[in-house]
Chains A and B, each alone.
Chain A
């Protein structure tokens, strides 16, 4: 017998650049989430972060005088928040605890991020250029799926239009295809506005047994994390899943299959999606990896507006990372909070009708992918 698991409370610290420490941001998000859940006691804490250093979650809980429970700091690249949510969900589902606190905190370095992921010779040789890997992935999508630069710009336009209405977003102005294509070319085909900004922020979620949470609290139907399969990347130092052998399913696909199977739903059942738009092409690739369309068919989804507000699957109603920016540890949790708020009918000006089943997807270095399904 396993427990039904609910999102009992949510809290966000805005995403952007702030004159505050990562601990202070974490405190704000945790306080808000606990208050939203009615200040329950909790028995486990999972803190997602990549760049916050040793025992970062302990500092946040310490500042609140809420230490004493197990606190585990979780790193899984861009999917860190999804990883922490999976651990908390499993803990509650299995009966290990009644209530678990998940938080994600990040204060990203500025500029191109120097990562211990790359060996020194790769850095010296110019092979540690993270946006260039995104650009290669975009090039491949253009070749395999007939995506154009206008399609890429259209994703930015779509997401930034939603970001206007999200008070925690870093960029809150709408844009146009022309403006996106006029922004500086970073690595062909990606222009500056097609890339999300690494930034700062925090998010927290109280995960609780459904029978202890308020009755209409959204449910976590599945929270899955997967890593890449052997042979799908060009070696441990190249974050390009699927490039070595295209026939091996991507980590995102494996995670999505597992989540759909556990939740008992498929892509057709989804009412809304939050997916990883680290760059505009990454979002479109996710359409294929998550099974919204067959491989190579994503261009039609973009051009038909299927993934825009009012379309078949509204994607990134939060404005996505292209509007919010990406604080690694917090970004996946913010997606889940958007789904929960939509399903809960408290998404404010961004609210859509009949939001009952939502999927959140994050993927990043490792390769790691997390897929979470939230239901009414």
Chain B
């Protein structure tokens, strides 16, 4: 089965299976953003560099979703929350645990199979999972 990234430009899948989230660093004010954006949401600058974001972070907020929201391709229940990267950037993410994860728990970035789309392709997104890489 072919795999399809849920959206182009969110992350990069390397041949060894490694996943890297892509973000923007503003050249004017150093503000970090995810996903990559053409403009800086802090200062409005259009001068930014696309960077690889850190693959390791800690849990900042977490909950568990029990009802499938509109358009969701995966299964319920699923973990959902905010991860804080060492750079201070916080990212909304799926969490691979089906229960609430404690504040500060080390998390690592993983590629996550969501489900099959209408074209019969496995749709892959990013998620964070307890543990160190």
**Interface residues of A, Cβ cutoff 8 Å to B:** 112-114, 119-121, 123-132, 135-136, 139-140, 143, 184-189, 230-231, 234-236, 238, 240, 243-244
Q: Among B33, B42, B72, B100, which residue has its beta carbon within 8 angstroms of that of A188?
A: B100
Report B30 CB to chain A, min CB distance, Å: 12
Sorted from nearest, which 3 A-B pairs have the closest CB atoms? A123-B71, A121-B7, A129-B69
Q: In the complex, what residues of A have CB within 8 A of residue B65's CB?
A: 126, 129, 131-132, 187
- Complex contact B71–A236 (CB within 8 A): no
Report B105 CB to chain A, min CB distance, Å: 13
B107 at the interface (CB under 8 A from A): no
- Complex contact B41–A238 (CB within 8 A): no
Closest partner residue, chain A, to B103 (CB atom) = A143
B63 at the interface (CB under 8 A from A): yes
B111 at the interface (CB under 8 A from A): no
Distance, CA A185 to CA B77, complexed state (A): 11
Interface of A is mostly: loop
- Complex contact A231–B125 (CB within 8 A): no
Closest partner residue, chain B, to A135 (CB atom) = B63
- Map CB proximity to A onto B46-76 as digits: 1 under 8 Å, 0 otherwise: 0000000000000001111111111111100
B80 at the interface (CB under 8 A from A): yes
- Complex contact B92–A230 (CB within 8 A): no
Distance, CA A130 to CA B80, complexed state (A): 11
Q: In the complex, what residues of B have CB within 8 A of residue A128's CB?
A: 69-72
- Given A124-B6, A127-B80, A140-B61, does the pair A231, B69 have CB atoms closer than 8 Å? no
- Complex contact A123–B62 (CB within 8 A): no
Segment 8-41 of B: residues with Cβ below 8 Å from A = 10, 31, 33-35, 37, 41
Q: Among B10, B33, B103, which residue has its beta carbon within 8 angstroms of that of A121?
A: B10
- Complex contact A243–B64 (CB within 8 A): no
- Given A136-B82, A234-B91, A238-B92, does the pair A123, B41 have CB atoms closer than 8 Å? no
- Complex contact B34–A112 (CB within 8 A): no
Q: In the complex, what residues of B have CB within 8 A of residue A187's CB?
A: 63-66, 80
Report B48 CB to chain A, min CB distance, Å: 14
Segment 72-96 of B: residues with Cβ below 8 Å from A = 72-74, 78, 80-82, 90-94
- Complex contact B81–A136 (CB within 8 A): yes
Distance, CA A8 to CA B63, complexed state (A): 46
B122 at the interface (CB under 8 A from A): no
Distance, CA A243 to CA B93, complexed state (A): 14
Distance, CA A204 to CA B90, complexed state (A): 41
Distance, CA A114 to CA B69, complexed state (A): 8
Q: In the complex, what residues of A have CB within 8 A of residue B123's CB?
A: 124
- Complex contact A121–B80 (CB within 8 A): no
- Complex contact B114–A125 (CB within 8 A): yes
Distance, CA A132 to CA B64, complexed state (A): 8
- Complex contact A244–B94 (CB within 8 A): no
Q: In the complex, what residues of B have CB within 8 A of residue A236's CB?
A: 41
Closest partner residue, chain B, to A231 (CB atom) = B42
Q: In the complex, what residues of B have CB within 8 A of residue A113's CB?
A: 70
- Complex contact A124–B64 (CB within 8 A): no
- Complex contact A136–B71 (CB within 8 A): no
Distance, CA A240 to CA B90, complexed state (A): 11
- Complex contact B69–A235 (CB within 8 A): no
Distance, CA A139 to CA B100, complexed state (A): 10
Among B43, B61, B78, max chain A CB count under 10 A is at B61
With contacts A124-B6, A132-B80 known, what are 13 further pairs, Cβ within 8 A? A121-B6, A121-B125, A124-B72, A125-B94, A126-B68, A128-B72, A129-B80, A131-B67, A186-B66, A187-B66, A188-B64, A243-B82, A243-B90
Q: Among A124, A140, A244, which residue has its beta carbon within 8 angstroms of that of B71?
A: A124
Among B33, B35, B72, max chain A CB count under 10 A is at B72
Report B11 CB to chain A, min CB distance, Å: 11
Q: Among B42, B70, B93, B125, which residue has its beta carbon within 8 angstroms of that of A114?
A: B70
- Complex contact A188–B63 (CB within 8 A): yes
Closest partner residue, chain A, to B33 (CB atom) = A235
- Complex contact B94–A231 (CB within 8 A): no
- Given A135-B63, A187-B65, does the pair A230, B42 have CB atoms closer than 8 Å? yes
Report A242 CB to chain B, min CB distance, Å: 11
Q: Among A112, A124, A230, A240, which residue has its beta carbon within 8 angstroms of that of B67?
A: A112
- Complex contact B69–A130 (CB within 8 A): yes
Distance, CA A185 to CA B7, complexed state (A): 31
Q: In the complex, what residues of B have CB within 8 A of residue A126's CB?
A: 65, 68-69, 72-74, 78, 80, 94, 114
